[in-house]
Structure 1
């Protein structure tokens, strides 16, 4: 990756005697959405806290746009916006009052605060709630306010920790569109346990398990990490199981309905061609055939156990 925005080298941290993370190395580009995955206790939160400057690592370094977090923490933090899983919103403030307070915390010049607040509200589509108390907002709009505070100072990197927590389906769709919009001009790190959301939003994946990186590649590579081993097919004139098992490479056959069958196979995916040829030869009237990909949950579980020992 050429001139990455974020560069993490040899990052390690331990609480008392146990290492929470060990030798984490990451690079993140200047635009787009990177999914950060990991089981509970894997070291994901520790990594995010160090990345955002809330925790000093035991070893290693974090560099944001060429600025070393340990050497120049204030300058590095100016480039980062963070939305924690449970944002510390002051519920007795209005939206505008809260964002104004956040602008002061971000050391935005006094003459620029009003514009920064208005721009953040416009970006997150909440200006009509500027005088509404945060306590009177729905969960979805509170999340929008949380994102607004994370971008009010126009950071180059935004870190979102479980942004979909407590949202209904419509709110999730709206938030998804907002995150995509933000990522068009900055880097976004999205930490989430909702694998379907990660699949829809992220182009790249970084996965931490047992304190170490176990996967760092594209979403497509994550989807295909485990080779498929089953085929779903529909036939108008299906044969008996014995005839299907006679096809070279087929290990078992499962009839889902009278005409829909799942075949499990060993070896490579060229078996599809043999199945099609056999169906045509025997006039089984094949209507549909699909190679089934391994589910994201299965890939996640496989990677979670990859370095257990």
Structure 2
């Protein structure tokens, strides 16, 4: 087992931030840790990585009990916090050399390790550039490089795609997938679509407890679509849409795109298509929407699933 937690719990003052978190990951790939802001994701990740001591419970990294042998366990972990721990007045080479030495790597291997991660993370042509002169996307790459330079079994990434532009997002997802071929990646996000794109399995935390733990396919099968997204060249008024049988709400996303909330009636899709043809709305696209993340949390929190 590459990562195992047993009844992991942590309390700030009198309030429990997380309670009885049990995680088991046995193979390479990307596992998503999903939760709304304040759900307990960062607390869980900080405890796993050793930057925070748990109030109760144990963490095992590649079979090593982190409480009993923290140094050996931490050698197996690479951590990318939400805000990468960069020294911006250093060059990429200087910083990566420094982080390799922090991991107590054999001095004879440091130079080759730095070159290897620069190549893997697309940083080789910026070796002598000061980190403060890099874009946000490349700073994130430097953060990932320091997390994998010592070839850990487990790489933990806290919101690694947060704040990136669309082009940077595509490149970052590609890099994370490549890393997952050699390492186990635990990736946190509060964005469901990001987890859906990247992850094989998903662990969902809400109010400090696990409310879902299974494959991404099982999650998608469990969550029922309750809204439909329409793209129309000649959209009707909100009042017209609300008069359609089964519609419970209408939200215009922009002038030509609308989200239709409905009661789960399986014929709603056909009903909207027919209405568009009948009234000349010029339907261009139609598709189910899994719904807002908060709604899914409410649905899952009503019954804990493992």
Q: Deviations over 1:162-206 (max 9, x none)?
A: 112332211111111100100112111111223322221112111
Q: Deviations over 1:234-273 (max 9, x none)?
A: 9xxxxxx9xx98x9xx67899x9xxxx9998767748989
Whole-angstrom CA distance in 2 between matches of 1:125 and 1:289: 37
Whole-angstrom CA distance in 2 between matches of 1:265 and 1:66: 48
Whole-angstrom CA distance in 2 between matches of 1:188 and 1:172: 17
What corresponds to 1:160 in structure 2? 157
Which of 61, 69, 73 is 1:72 aligned to? 69
What corresponds to 1:284 in structure 2? none
1:51 paired with 2:45, answer no
- Once the two structures are TM-superposed, the CA of residue 54 in structure 1 deviates from its matched residue by 1.4
Is the Cα–Cα contact under 8 Å of residues 251 and 264 in structure 1 kept in the other structure? yes
1:228 paired with 2:225, answer yes
1:144 paired with 2:119, answer no
Which of 295, 299, 302 is 2:291 aligned to? 295
What corresponds to 1:176 in structure 2? 173
Whole-angstrom CA distance in 2 between matches of 1:66 and 1:294: 37
Q: Secondary structure at the match of 1:50?
A: helix
Q: Secondary structure at the match of 2:222?
A: coil
Is the Cα–Cα contact under 8 Å of residues 134 and 142 in structure 1 kept in the other structure? yes
How many residues matched? 293
Which of 14, 24, 28 is 1:27 aligned to? 24
What corresponds to 1:36 in structure 2? 33
Which structure has the larger Rg?
A: 1
What corresponds to 1:282 in structure 2? none
Q: Secondary structure at the match of 2:167?
A: helix
- Once the two structures are TM-superposed, the CA of residue 225 in structure 1 deviates from its matched residue by 2.9
Structure 1: runs of 5+ lacking an equivalent: 235-240, 280-286
Is the Cα–Cα contact under 8 Å of residues 225 and 291 in structure 2 kept in the other structure? no
- Once the two structures are TM-superposed, the CA of residue 80 in structure 1 deviates from its matched residue by 0.5
Alignment RMSD, CA only? 3.8
Change (3 A) 1:18 1:298: closer
Which of 49, 58, 61 is 2:58 aligned to? 61
Q: Deviations over 1:129-181 (max 9, x none)?
A: 11111111111111101100000000111111111233221111111110010
Is the Cα–Cα contact under 8 Å of residues 223 and 296 in structure 1 kept in the other structure? no
- Once the two structures are TM-superposed, the CA of residue 295 in structure 1 deviates from its matched residue by 2.5
Q: Secondary structure at the match of 1:125?
A: coil
Q: Secondary structure at the match of 1:25?
A: strand
Change (3 A) 1:92 1:263: closer
- TM-score by length of structure 1 reads 0.80
